[in-house]
Structure 1
Amino acid sequence: MKQPTVIPLDGGVRKPGVVPGPDGRTILSSLPPLSLYVHVPWCVRKCPYCDFNSHELGAELPEQDYLAALQADLEQALPLVWGRQVISIFIGGGTPSLLSAGALDQMLAMLRACLNILPDAEVTLEANPGTVEAGRFADYAASGVNRISLGIQSFDDGALKALGRIHDAAQALAAVEVAQKAVERVNLDMMYALPGQSLQACAQDIQQAMSFQTGHLSLYHLTMEPNTVFAKYPPAVPDDDASAAMQDLITEATAANGWERYEVSAYAKPGQRCRHNLNYWEFGDYLGIGPGAHGKLSFHDRIVRQAKLKNPASWMSKSILRDGSHLAEDRQVHWKELGFEFMLNALRLKEGVPRSSFIERTGQSILAIAPALERAVARGLLEPSREQLQATPLGWAFLNDLQGEFLD
Structure 2
Amino acid sequence: MFKLSPISIYIHIPWCLKKCGYCDFYSYVSKEIIPEKKYIDNLLKDLEKDLLLIEKRKINTIFIGGGTPSLLNKESIKKLIYGIKERAFVSHKAEISIEANPKTLEFQRFVDYKNAGINRFSLGIQTFHTHLLKKIERTYDSQEAINIIKETKKIIHNLNLDLMYGLPNQRLEDALLDLQYAIRYNPSHISWYQFTIEPNTSFYAQKPKLPNDDMIFKILIQGEKLLKKSGYKKYEISSYSKKNYECQHNLNYWNFGDYIGIGCGAHGKITQKNGKMIRTIKNKNINDFLNGNYLSSRNVISQKDKIFEYFMNVFRLYKPVFKKHFREKTNLNEIVIEKSIQKAIQSGFLINKINYWNTTKKGKNFLNLLLEIFLK
Length-normalised TM-score, structure 2: 0.98
Q: Is the 8 A contact 1:32 1:298 kept in 2?
A: no
Q: Distance in 1 between matches of 2:212 and 2:193?
A: 15
- Name the counterpart of 1:400: 368
- 8 Å Cα contact 1:347-1:389 kept in structure 2: no
Structure 1 runs of 4+ off > 3 angstroms?
none
Whole-angstrom CA distance in 2 between matches of 1:180 and 1:296: 34
Deviation (angstroms), 1:388:
2.3
Corresponding position of 2:313: 345
- Cα distance in 2 for partners of 1:149, 1:99 equals 15
Shift of 1:353: 2.7
State the match for 1:314 in structure 2: 288
- Matched residue, 1:278: 251
> 1:355 corresponds to which residue?
323
Specify the alignment match of 2:58 in structure 1: 85
Question: SS of the counterpart of 1:47?
Answer: coil
From 353, 362, 366, the equivalent of 1:385 is 353
SS at match of 1:81: coil
8 Å CA contact 2:5, 2:57 repeated in 1: no
CA distance in structure 2 between the partners assigned to 1:144 and 1:214 by the alignment: 20
CA deviations on 1:337-368 (whole Å, 9 max, x unpaired) are: 22111111100001133211100000000111
Match runs of 1:194-233 below 5 Å: 194-233=167-206
Instruction: State the TM-score, normalizing by the size of structure 1.
Output: 0.90
Matched, 1:367 2:335: yes
Contact 1:282–1:353 under 8 Å retained in 2: no
8 Å contact kept, 1:304–1:330: yes
Alignment check: 8 A CA contact 1:101 1:139 kept = yes
Contact 2:54-2:272 within 8 A present in 1 as well:
no
User: Secondary structure in 2 aligned to 1:84?
Assistant: coil
Say if 2:67 is the partner of 1:99: no
Name the counterpart of 1:128: 101
2:193 maps to a residue whose letter is: Y
Q: Distance in 1 between matches of 2:286 and 2:152?
A: 28
Offset of 1:380 from its aligned partner? Answer: 1.2
Cα deviation, residue 407, structure 1:
1.2
For 2:223, the aligned partner's letter is I
> What's the secondary structure of 2:103's corresponding residue?
helix
1:246 shift after superposition: 1.0
Q: Does 1:305 align with 2:283?
A: no
**Distance in 1 between the 2:282 and 2:262 partners?**
7
Unaligned runs of 5+ in 2: none
CA contact (8 A) 2:21 2:136 kept: yes
Q: What do residues 3-52 of structure 1 show as CA deviations (whole Å, max 9, x unaligned)?
A: xxxxx4xxxxxxxxxxxxxxxxxxxx211330000000000111000000
Q: 2: CA distance between counterparts of 1:385 and 1:219?
A: 31
Question: Quick one: distance in 2 between partners of 1:391 and 1:172?
Answer: 37
Specify the SS of the correspondent of 1:131: coil
Q: Where does 1:27-176 land on structure 2 (aligned, <5 Å)?
A: 29-176=2-149
Question: Aligned letter for 1:177?
Answer: K
Distance 2:185 2:300 in 1: 44
Residue 77 of structure 1 and its aligned partner are, at CA, apart by 1.4
How far is the alpha carbon of 1:383 from its aligned partner? Answer: 2.0
Please give the alpha-carbon distance, in whole angstroms, between the structure 1 residues aligned to 2:155 and 2:289: 32
Distance 2:78 2:11 in 1: 14
Could you tell me which amino acid in structure 2 is paired with residue 374 of structure 1? Q
1:336 to partner: Cα distance: 2.8
Q: Secondary structure at the match of 1:121?
A: strand
State the partner residue of 1:256: 229
Unaligned runs of 5+ in 1: 1-7, 9-28, 319-324
TM-aligned CA deviation for residue 370 of structure 1: 1.2
Distance in 2 (alpha carbons) for counterparts of 1:132 and 1:72: 27
How many angstroms apart in 2 are the aligned matches of 1:115 and 1:188? 29
User: How far apart, CA to CA, are the structure 1 residues paired with 2:320 and 2:146?
Assistant: 35
